[in-house]
Structure 1
Amino acid sequence: MKSLRVVVRHYGGPEALEIVEEDAPHPASGELRVRTIAAGVSFAELLMREGIHPEKTILPFTPGWDIVGIVDEAGERASHSMVGKMVAALPVHGGYAQFICLPEDELIPVPTGVDPAEAVSLVLNYVTAYQMMHRLGHASPGQRVLIHGAAGGVGTALLQLGRLAGLEMYGTASLAAHQIVSDLGATPIDYERADFVKEIHRLTNDGVDVVFDGVGEANVWRSFRTLRPGGRVIAYGFTSFLQKGQLAEGLRYRLRGILRPAWYAVRAFVSPGRRRILPYSIQYLKRWKLAWFRDDLGALLELLRDGKIKPMVAERMPLTEARRAQELLGQGGVKGKLVLMAASR
């Protein structure tokens, strides 16, 4: 049986993505083969394609952090009872393919009747949001939070989960996305025309309890300045690498973008007011606490099944349009989650 897969043979822009046709893989001992239905598109994959993400792999590699699909073959010492069931996984790489083989304990059952494109939106974006909010941020009802990139994939996840948690929310977004932010229960702030630090202090007097910062670079310290005593900035991304729709050029700039938040975290630790800057990485936390990842994704899938959350799918695109999907994400302004539909022929 033939299968399509996206391959990166050299680091670079979207043109580095190519489609190959090959024999479908077979699962090794302890593995299950998944026929991919939906694969998410994330900013981390753009950084991996450029060769500047901590999770970059040896060339050639297949991108794809998050997938949902049907188990269609079991290897030796793997549970044959899983065959035919829909599952979700966070493989970190390899998801842009019609078939992927993964260890059995990496797969989380997906409830029947759930939309695969909505389900895959939970695996990376909503687990990231949930763990930052509850595992790291310890947000509680009535607390104030600031969400950067509030109309994006993780941003909309934070807004939906924050509303369920009873938080008072503020979200930075372009003016065109303000209605989305408002509809999801937050006060929008136009980051292009307003200084969000001044706006937060104008709107709240004494600041917020938690900031979710996926921008990185100097934005992390500006987020720190919005905190009230005892507050926390959760730093989890580097969208500051985007300059006019393209990834910033120059190793010096990129290293600065990664190292500067670490310096800010040290600076925050010695600042008055017990305010902190805390890094978050879904893949590192998953490796340290796989049970947390399984529990958190399972809880989110139940919320999706029960209609308590509704992921915003920006667009569903064929796997063969992976290059265009990454181009769209790199240009910025995507509202929600881009999803590649990878049903095999």
Structure 2
Amino acid sequence: MKSLRVVVRHHGGPEVLELVEEDAPHPASGELRVQIIAAGVSFAELLMREGIHPEKTTLPFTPGWDIVGIVDEAGEGASHAMLGKLVAALPIHGGYAQFICLPQDELTSVPTGVDPVEAVSLVLNYVTAYQMMHRLGHPSPGQRVLIHGAAGGVGTALLQLGGLAGLEMYGTASLSDHQIVSDLGARPIDYERADFVKEVHRLTNGGVDVVFDGVGEANVWRSFRALRPGGRVIAYGFTSFLQKGRLAGGLRYRLRGILRPLWYAVCAFVSPGRRRILPYSIQYLKRWRPAWFREDLSALLKLLRDGKIKPMVAMRMPLTEARRAQELLGQGGVKGKLVLICNSLASRQGIAEQEQSL
């Protein structure tokens, strides 16, 4: 059986994404093969494509951090009870494909009746938001938080989870996205026309308890200045590294961008007011505490099934348009999650089989 897969053979812009047709893989011992229905498109994949993401992947590689699909083949020693089941996973690479083989313990069951496209929106974006909020930031009901990029994939996840947690929320976004931020329960701040540090202090009369900063570089220290005493910045991304989807600056700029937040964290530790800058990385925490990842994703899938959260899906695009999807994300202004549809047939047939077997 033939299948499609996207391959990156050398680092560069979206043009390096190559669609190849090949024989479908078969699972090794202890593995299950997943026929991928939906794969997320994330900013991390743009950084990996450019060769600057901390998660180093040997060339050639297939992008794709987060997937949802149907288990259709079991390797020796793997559970045949999983066949026909809808599952989610965070493989970190390999998701831009029609099939992927993964160890059985990498897969999390998806509840019956859940839209696979909405489910894949949880795997990277919502787990990131959930862990930053509940495993690292620990804001209490009524506390104030600032969310950068509040209309994006992780930003909208933070807003929804913050609403459930009873937080007072502020979100930076371009003026055109203010209605999205307001609808999700936050006070929008136009980062293009206002100094968000001054605006936060004006609105709160003292600063916020937690800032979620996915911008990186110099923005981390500005976020630190928006904190009240005892507050925390959760630094989790480097969107400042790219401009219109391509590398911004040379090697010296990128090294400075990686090292500067570490220096800020040291400065924060010795500064008065017990304010802190804490780094977050979903892949490192998943490797350190794999049970947390499965627990948190399962909790989010239940919230989705029960209608307590509703991922914002920006667009559903076929796998063959992976290059275009990364171009759109790199240009900015994407509201919510971009998702590649890898096997539309599996989406219709596999879920029906799953429901019949339950």
**TM-score bin (small chain):** over 0.9
**Residue-by-residue CA offset, 1:188-246 (whole Å, 9 max, x unaligned):** 00000000000000000000000000000000000000101110000000001122453
User: Mind listing any 5+ residue stretches in structure 2 that lack a counterpart?
Assistant: 340-356
Kindly report structure 1 stretches of 4+ aligned residues shifted beyond 2 Å: 242-247
Q: 1:242 & 1:202 partners in 2: Cα distance?
A: 31
* Pairing 1:99–2:99 present: yes
Matches within 5 A, 1:216-255: 216-255=216-255
Counterpart of 1:292 in structure 2 is 292
Is the CA contact (8 Å cut-off) linking 2:244 and 2:330 kept in structure 1?
no
**What corresponds to 2:160 in structure 1?**
160
Query: Is 2:183 the counterpart of 1:183?
Result: yes
Task: Measure the CA separation in 1 of the matches of 2:156 and 2:108.
Answer: 23
Q: Give the structure 2 partner of residue 119 of structure 1.
A: 119
Task: Verify the 8 A CA contact 2:46 2:245 in the aligned structure 1.
Answer: no
- Per-residue CA deviations over 1:39-59 (Å, capped at 9, x if unaligned) read 000000001001111112111
Deviation track 1:128-177 (CA, whole Å, cap 9, x = no partner) reads 00000000001110010000000000000000000000000000000000
Q: Distance in 2 between matches of 1:38 and 1:266?
A: 40
Q: Secondary structure of 1:311's match?
A: coil
> What's the RMSD between the two structures over aligned residues?
1.9
1:273-320 deviation line (CA, Å, top 9, x unaligned): 100000000000000000000000000000000000000000000001
SS at match of 1:197: helix
How far apart, in 2, do the equivalents of 1:291 and 1:165 lie?
Answer: 23
SS in 2 for 1:308: coil
Number of aligned positions between the proteins: 341
Take 1:204 and 1:235, find their aligned partners in 2: how far apart are those partners? 21
- Cα distance change, pair 99–245 in 1 and its aligned pair in 2 (3 A): closer
TM-superposed deviation, 1:254: 1.1
Q: Kindly indicate whether the alpha-carbon contact (under 8 Å) linking 1:40 and 1:65 is maintained by their aligned counterparts in 2.
A: yes
Q: Which moved more, 1:91-100 or 1:236-245?
A: 236-245
Tell me, yes or no, if structure 1 residue 304 matches structure 2 residue 304: yes
Note the 1:308-327 alignment, pairs <5 A.
308-327=308-327
CA 1:82–1:245 in 2, change beyond 3 Å: closer, same or farther?
A: closer
1:138 aligned partner: 138
Alpha-carbon shift at residue 334 of structure 1 (Å): 0.5
Deviations 1:64-86 (A, max 9, x none): 00000000000011000000000
Does residue 1:337 correspond to 2:350, yes or no? no
Q: What is the Cα deviation at residue 249 of structure 1?
A: 3.4
CA separation in 2, counterparts of 1:86 and 1:188?
37
Distance (whole Å) between structure 2 residues aligned to residue 23 and residue 191 of structure 1: 48
With the length of structure 2 as denominator, give the TM-score of the two structures.
0.94
User: What is the aligned-residue identity percentage?
Assistant: 90
- For 2:4, what is the secondary structure of its paired residue? strand
The answer on whether the counterparts of 1:26 and 1:33 sit within 8 Å (CA) in structure 2 is yes
Distance 1:259 1:77 in 2: 44
Work out the CA distance in 1 between the residues paired with 2:5 and 2:246: 25
- State the shift of 1:255 in Å: 1.2
Residue number in structure 2 paired with 1:75: 75
Which residue matches 2:58?
58
SS of 1:28's partner is coil
The alpha-carbon deviation at position 256 of structure 1 amounts to 1.1
- The answer (yes or no) to whether the contact 2:231–2:275 under 8 Å persists in 1 is yes
Q: Equivalents in 2 of 1:319, 1:254: separation in Å? A: 30
- Contact conserved, 1:86 with 1:109, CA < 8 A, in 2? yes
Give the Cα separation in 2 of the matches to 1:302 and 1:133. Answer: 18
Structure 1: stretches of 5+ with no match in the other structure: none
Distance in 1 of aligned mates of 2:132 and 2:307: 22
SS in 2 for 1:231: strand
Contact 1:247 1:330 in 2 (8 A): no
> d(CA) in 2 for partners of 1:280 and 1:187?
25
Cα gap change, 1:245 to 1:89, in 2 (>3 Å): closer
Provide the residue aligned with 2:129 in structure 1.
Answer: 129
